[in-house]
Amino acid sequence: MRATQKTFIPATLFAAALALSGCVTSDLERAGLGAAAGGVTAAAFNGNIGTGILIGAAGGALCDDVGLC
């Protein structure tokens, strides 16, 4: 797999998860979706998966509070 494909696929998945986060109604649902997106993105970039999950969950839960979703 080429380097551009390696970064394009996770970025696309993350963008899709972010777009879908507006379809869910509760903070818990958005946190779950954000955690999944954060974990997948961290794994794709060889980062710390646990940190990606925590950051994604926090971002998903708080995105409506700051007006992003």
Q: What is the mean pLDDT of the segment spanning 12-17?
A: 70
The reply to whether 69 falls in a domain is no
**10, amino acid identity:** P
Residue 5 in this model has a pLDDT that exceeds 60 = no
The reply to whether 49 falls in a domain is yes
The reply to whether 68 falls in a domain is no
CB 37 within 8 A of CB 49: no
Q: Find the domain containing 11 and state its range.
A: 3-62
The reply to whether 57 falls in a domain is yes
CA separation for the pair 43, 4 (Å, rounded)? 16
**How many domains is the chain partitioned into structurally?**
1
**45, amino acid identity:** F
**Tens-place pLDDT, residues 32-60:** 888 988 888 888 888 899 999 999 999 98
What Rg value do the Cα atoms of the chain yield, rounded? Answer: 12
Which run of H or of E encompasses 17?
helix 3-20
What is the model's pTM?
0.66
Q: What are phi and psi of 68, to 5 degrees?
A: -90, -20
Average pLDDT, the chain: 79
